[in-house]
Structure 1
């Protein structure tokens, strides 16, 4: 019945029908201190009834039934085995959020775990004298037999034990007269070998309750999203009245709208409970009357696939059976495949997977980033339609075509007033991921409203991380001997030797060109988000070196476009000795025009471009060549050109917040088997020192002043973070397409991204629908700060300061030296370090005279002899 609580252990698991339950007093009796006396039928009387039954059966030609006492065995409850579906819960919660299986089957181990609300509701409807008779309603059976012989309607007259005997021997479909006697004989044998409580427990476990639910525990989950022990009298009655209504005739969501059958049956059952005055306490009877007066309880909506459900929610990106992130992790860490969790075969499934998602932080993620579902196309009658305007075959709004506005963009319904972007254009989408530093636990995740759709926070829809990647580039520079006090040339546009063969051999900063030396420390280069110093770092130390640092810090995927314009996804793997390999993935088109397909027969978007190992599953990998400065990615990696996921950027900054220690990002807190026992891990989570603690603390300092507009962090606490902005496609002019803010406090790292819901290249729009003024500091930072403040409030994080550290590395000036190894005396470096002998007046350009001393004294000379050239401006602002 789910994982044990933090405070205590105990067997709380779900069980198949194995092992007889310990006998328990009649329900309600323990509370009242009395137990009904079981009436004993005389041996003579029992034999008379049995003889009458046999005589009738012989008369009908069913003589063989008489031998069933000796030859027809009734399967004992402990011999019945089933598979069960798997349930997902949030961290520390027993409330199911999703299920996985052919159908929903959940079984209860112990009779004591089934509440009176279920036991007595069942008996009130089906067998009031259950604890009084010996398994067979002799009068009822004879009455039914006589009625049937007279040509009347076929009648049942089955006790709980008879019904159970029929279920386990799979003869419930046989409505012959002989079946009734066979059940009676089997029921008597069943009661001879098992306690009443055992039979009742397994009856409730075996029954079908509609909506794909087998077993009372599954029914409670599917109908009311509750544990069985939490059901009310009204809810218990709603469930048990389904045991003979597999066609849904008593299901208010399935029965005909004009039918009163569900309400009539429920009312009859509740009123029957009120007649059990000898079995229920006055307090219980009062509760039943109150709930009867309140009316039939509301249920959850019926599920299209009862066994596999709950994946069309924000958490579905983690749990959905197609590409949910949890499945690879479960197989890698626990050695369990999806088939093991499905529960189709006997003795499989029945697991409870506890996710790392914190209920409060996850709720904050949805509240902050969620803008509702995408709008859908409708016809004039308000019916959802497909792309051709046809409502036929469109079962619901989710299956309809997306609404497209006059500008060609999707829009959200925008029905969440708490969303950080509520007042922004309805086309703006946001995604957030929260990772816990020091553990790698994903505590909050929002990539969209429907986990079966496009995940804006995950691997299938990566975005250029832009300037948020500069913290990784800075870490690489420090690792290679520079320091945050090193000086770099931020002139823009700036030519680079490595770009000599490119059409444009320059790199520009984001909207900040200069007309002269623009020298600054690495700290300021990151804080002011300059591109040219980052490119210079990549040229000096290698793009491959930056990539290695990124992988060490937690990045596991990047995407780039090949020479044919196709997206190629690189997945990275880090061995225990630090060796990094990668595999390449994308669409493979064969010579005949067909495409490589996945296991479901669909085009495989992530087929291994380099083939597979002998097992046909493991992609072939290539070792990262650290001797190559720009392979497989070019120097533009330094300022975040290549797309990655929101989740991986949250992981990278969690490493920074954890003083450089990487902890594997993961979604599974624990796995419990059907008996409530923790499944042991076969592989431990990765954890290692990714970068030196001193370097990480230097980065914490660098990002400590980088914030955005709007609210500030609660509690006057330290943070570290970085904004990011990336331009839209050329067809949108100077518009931007992506904004980021990734930042952390010591207890939590959050990555926030904002983009257009329509496409990766589509522009960002402001509150007025324009494209100006949309940067990371103005668009993503408000999302981040709202989510962070909400998490701080819900978790009560105490204020923690960053640890101080000396500045690692050396304050090198290599990048600001001219061809003569000198530094322009007018540069910021020379102003800050006037005694440095490398500072000299710049040589004037050809044709320009050196300014004479008299003119210098009058201040008529331009600093530096005229300064550097101008050039095109950048499109991004941070």
Structure 2
């Protein structure tokens, strides 16, 4: 036999691994040794560095009090840095507003507002690019502003820690807030990007935005923006508009006394506005003059003349501008500009609005009268009213009892529980889901978990019709109905009718627990007054630019009305809501000779009282309550709100052609059938102009106005064939 070879030259020896495996093993052993050595040497190096650092610091070792202060400072810096990072995270949302390239001019509109008949009713907005340059603003006004609002303006970086500490000391001494710690830059940041909300988060955002402004603008630009954007009372913004409003002067012509009075408005324009309280305005101006002397910007001798001869403001005590309406209308112009490129480019515009000045005066008078006669007695301190024609055109708006004291518009921005005035949404939903006005539903206790609604009189009627349930405002019935077809359908109906704010789908939704606004309620009830069409509230009829070019005209640019409700269901609900006024909870809202419908609303603890009513001509919502949500003294929707509604609506329907209530015949109401045709007219002492012109008359007046404007624009440009200007055309 031939012997078998045991191995070749590259094969492994007996008991030995292959050569390739030995190489891999040596590689990893070497790598492990390298890592171990590197880690050991790194640790040794770090240890030596730390030992040297520790030895160096030992030379400065503090003992006793110095050690305590050193450790306290070290911990303070550590926690301060951590706090800075956390607070910066909270401030991030505020910086979103600075991403817009035109943030300085986003709201830069100069708007002249006209009423529905073409008469000027007020102005709003500012034009930064066309306003008076900073170097042309009187030196006295700039010094008065800096001395009063921010003496260290040109030395701090947006936040004045020295001024803040000084204000804290003065406030502690006085036991109250007598000085503010915000710099002029912080105030500008609030005006540009934030609201007047009193909260820690707003102060944090304000501080960071102030630093951002200081980093992106010069001191002169910040000062100019502040002077142009600050609210000065009377519905005007900026010193240029304030000089014209209070003194009928160009801002360049202001005296020292007038400059001091304007500078005093920055702190509290409603409190120190000279057209509201001239003595308070003069006292505040005297403080400003003292501030200028203390800041060493002027001497006592230089201000003595202004002290002895204080400024005299223009008497506007007889003027009642629709301030709340103008604020809302300006917001509507801005919304329209986002959809209208032509309007977005032209910032100086004239807007013809839907406002009726006579109705606005009567609305103010009605609210003021009822509050003055009953407010203190019934612990009701605030009220709001919105009135519109059934297509949504707002003709009157009252956002509060005094615009000078509070610019917050309770008619538009306040959200309050509607109480039983929300029930028509429930009953309309019921009619759209198979129920009829004569359908029988039991009025008896109904439980949802641990909650059960109670009726106002704490009793139950047993089986009742839906007609009676809504007329008497029974609470159990709408809750029982919601269990049948679901609260989601009620919410859908409310949105379809005109509510815009989010409704909370809670078990108490059917009896009005979810908050709404006054203007939305008037709009929603308008869909009942017009036969079932959605009627969003609007203020703008026409917009023209400075050259007279029409940029927007509602009758041709607005979308067509959309049907929101079935017509037959609207007729059913109208018939019941007329009965609420005739024989239900709103009898105080009756108007002689006029078919009126509506619903009262009163919330828990009498915090909110509503009456929302309508005729074929107008839909009007009235709310009474308190700004701090405290209870009134048993004010119900059928008392003060219904009384105010009746005072206003009786005037609104005088001298006009009465429109028919959809689905309701006046002859079917015994009270109206007995009323003499001239009874209402005999009760009106003063003759008034028609509140709503016929469409043909409106078109004719508008056409005449456009022709007059066109003639005035052309007469200065006409040239005769000989080259001489043509004689002026006199237009009667």
More helix by share: 2
| Bigger relative contact order (CA 8 A; separation at least 6) | 1
